[in-house]
Structure 1
Amino acid sequence: MATSGKVIRCRAAVAWAAGKPLSVEEVEVAPPKAQEVRVKIVASGICRTDDHVLGGYFPNIEFPVIPGHEGAGIVESVGEGVTSVKPGDKVIPLCLPQCGECCFCLNPDSNYCIKSHFSESQNLMPDKTSRFTCKGKQIHHFLWTSTFAEYTVMPEYAVAKIDAAAPLDKVCLLGCGFPTGYGAAINTAKVKPGSTCAVFGLGGVGLSVVMGCKAAGASRIIAIDINKDKFAKAKELGATDCVNPKDFTKPIHEVLMEMTGLGVDYSFEAIGHKDTLTAALASCKPLTGIYIHLKVLPSNFSTSQQVFMLLYQYSISLIIHCVYFFPFLGWKTRDSIPKLVSSYLEKKLNPDLLITHTLPIAEVNKGFELLRAGKR
């Protein structure tokens, strides 16, 4: 392409400091170095984790930074040594890389990678420099993806090539939220046919859990949220019951116990609040219940005596997966994301139903307002 090897000037949503709105700026995006890929981002979802970044929730994120990690785009150019993709390929950036060489990638039972943010800072590229500048200042990367930029640069092992027929404005959801929620049911919990599931929180991840539970053959899927506007979509995606805790004077776990007799087989917490974490634990069936935590642990959370007593009393299996650190539950990303895209094209998956609004990059802050208002 004509831009290969050159600096590209484009728009990006920059977070200059914690607690401030994003600012859409002209940024310079340097060419990719060896083993790197520069991608033209066509579409990006907004994830609650991006909102946590803006709020300064994560002390290891450095400002200024370009957030975004749920995108899809087209390879513009590649650096020396890149062999898995070429200019013109459609790709999904991976906020959980798959280097293919570390002990975790070589373990068939793990989808972790030593190159992930949990082990290695992704505020800069692996050579500890940035490919972004704005107004003469270095801008940090986010999870090596930074999909709130019209062009971004990533290591080759943080990019998955997908089918050329894929609609990028739809499959961008496969960059984080959908495979995390769907995988929590299919891969992590291994929901069994005929079982009963409770899903706390009906955002994008929670609704994806609902889809995963339905695909696994659960006979009863109880969707819990204080926003009743979420219920129609939850039922469309497979929920059999919808419960608003505000409609009851008793604790929600007691309500679920009355609905199910002994509790649910699988309980998924997709909110990240201390109270719902405890309620989701208490909703599990004694001895055999499995609890899966999907969201970033709340800042006021501590492994309190109450939580330990619940685990001891009911012998609940506890599985904690914080989305920010460890998304894509059970999927080896570079291997699995192209397969998920193929399943989407074959109409075996329909994450389109999760899309509520489509906005231009200039209105990115409006997107976050909708997110915070529970309208997405």
Structure 2
Amino acid sequence: MLREFGAPLAVEELDVADPGRGELLVEIDAAGVCHSDLHYLRGDLRCPLPVVPGHEGAGRIVALGPDLREGFAVGDRVALLWRPNCGRCRQCVAGRPIMCEYGPVQAASGGLLDGTSRLSAAGETVHHLLGVSCFAERVVVPERSVVRVPDDVPAEIAAIAGCAVITGVGAVLNVIGACLGDAVVVIGAGGVGLSAVMGARAAGATTVVAVDVDADRLALARRLGATHVIDGSSSSSSSGSSGGDAVEQLLALVPGGVPWVVEAVGRPETLASAVAMLQPGGTAVAVGLGRVGQSVGIPVNDLVQKQKRVVGSLYGSSIPQLDLPRIFELYRRGALPLDELVGERFALEDIGAAFEALEHGSVGRSIVVPAREGVR
């Protein structure tokens, strides 16, 4: 539990209320450690305190609330969604469930869809993070915040699929679409960026360039399908290009620029670099979240005269109830080698060490598992 921004996480015993109307009690089997969680811990992103962090999880249903509509049963395996959708607001009806009007309300309230919490400690209200709070043994979530998981998909794969993977793969499949024969650049080789690399290959890109400052992450990007890698901290790339920064290296590799760049870092300078890498008419897809209040400077005439575009993509611009089953099927077919994304496993009691690994640039997605599962 997080009681103060910047303070260490504490493992505490909490009371979990029974699931209410349209809600489920889920026993957590695995939870991914996402950089967004670190932003909340540091206070770069804000939420009501005290709060149970964690928004990338998977488990199985152990109890049902009344008035369920989606046919869930005790024992169903599910992936959790940190951006639920009500199915009734203007955005949901228009086919943009990730823009559901209830999402920001839930995030700001620290509760579930009705704004109230199911967590407490000695009578004190404890808040949910993004309606999930999966750094726990059990959580109550709305039924619209889960998607069924096939029995042959491991829990850790289901967990990361619900955030990092759907964000990166979705940015390609839902925003870029089919890109047969195209070149795609992905800036940032964390969980989201590596997922975008896999998504680009699955979508037909023949040239996929991964950009990062960590050699181990770039090596993993290679294994996941990147045809070229650029070390943004040095003056040379593995493709043989040399001299200058990442933009110069990319333009030496692909003269004239590329049609698509996915920016998965969330820094103003990397988004500006993404635009500079584009060919005329190209599109930069902004995926990485920055700090609140950050802005980016982009030459206006570069956008106008070269008709470049910058588009945002939250949560892969996805419809999770449709896109997660598609991701699971691509994984089962071997088209998305998601096992490569899974890094070190930590017991829930050692969650502090998991975040230390994240801060030190660990390769792969750290996974937190409850004590009953052990650390495999």
Task: With the length of structure 1 as denominator, give the TM-score of the two structures.
Answer: 0.89
Q: State the Cα deviation string for residues 136-182 of structure 1 (Å, max 9, x = none).
A: 42110011111111100111211222223432122211110001101
Equivalent position of 2:371 in the other structure: none
- TM-superposed CA distance for 1:58, in Å, is 2.0
Structure 1 residues 262 and 191: CA distance shift in structure 2, 3 A: farther
In 1, distance between residues paired with 2:302 and 2:294? 15
Equivalent position of 1:75 in the other structure: 61
Q: State the Cα deviation string for residues 256-291 of structure 1 (Å, max 9, x = none).
A: 1121110111111111112111111101112x2110
User: SS state of the match for residue 375, structure 1?
Assistant: coil
In 2, distance between residues paired with 1:191 and 1:243? 24
User: SS state of the match for residue 117, structure 1?
Assistant: helix
Q: Does 1:211 align with 2:198?
A: yes
User: SS state of the match for residue 166, structure 2?
Assistant: helix
Contact (CA 8 Å) 2:96, 2:319: kept in 1 or not?
no
AA matched with 2:51? V
Structure 1 residues 110 and 35: CA distance shift in structure 2, 3 A: closer
Q: Does 1:231 align with 2:218?
A: yes
Q: State the Cα deviation string for residues 82-104 of structure 1 (Å, max 9, x = none).
A: 14212111111111213323332
**357-366 or 308-317: bigger deviation:** 308-317
Q: State the Cα deviation string for residues 166-216 of structure 1 (Å, max 9, x = none).
A: 321222111100011011111112251111111111000000010011111
Equivalent position of 2:304 in the other structure: 312
Structure 1 residues 170 and 222: CA distance shift in structure 2, 3 A: same
* Identity between Structure 1 and Structure 2 (%): 32
- TM-superposed CA distance for 1:348, in Å, is 3.6
Q: Which of 236, 248, 251 pairs up with 2:245?
A: 251
Equivalent position of 1:268 in the other structure: 262
Structure 1 residues 235 and 117: CA distance shift in structure 2, 3 A: same
Contact (CA 8 Å) 1:96, 1:333: kept in 2 or not?
no
Equivalent position of 1:18 in the other structure: 5
Q: Which of 282, 298, 301 pairs up with 2:294?
A: 301
Gapped regions of structure 1 (runs ≥ 5): 1-13
Structure 1 residues 220 and 345: CA distance shift in structure 2, 3 A: closer
Structure 1 residues 111 and 43: CA distance shift in structure 2, 3 A: same
Structure 1 residues 254 and 342: CA distance shift in structure 2, 3 A: closer
Q: Which of 56, 65, 82 pairs up with 1:95?
A: 82
Q: How does 1:309-348 map to 2 (within 5 A)?
A: 309-321=301-313, 326-327=314-315, 329-348=316-335
Contact (CA 8 Å) 2:269, 2:296: kept in 1 or not?
no
In 1, distance between residues paired with 2:300 and 2:44? 26
Pairwise CA RMSD of aligned residues?
1.9
In 1, distance between residues paired with 2:343 and 2:273? 29
Structure 1 residues 122 and 277: CA distance shift in structure 2, 3 A: same
- Matched pairs, number: 355
Task: With the length of structure 2 as denominator, give the TM-score of the two structures.
Answer: 0.89
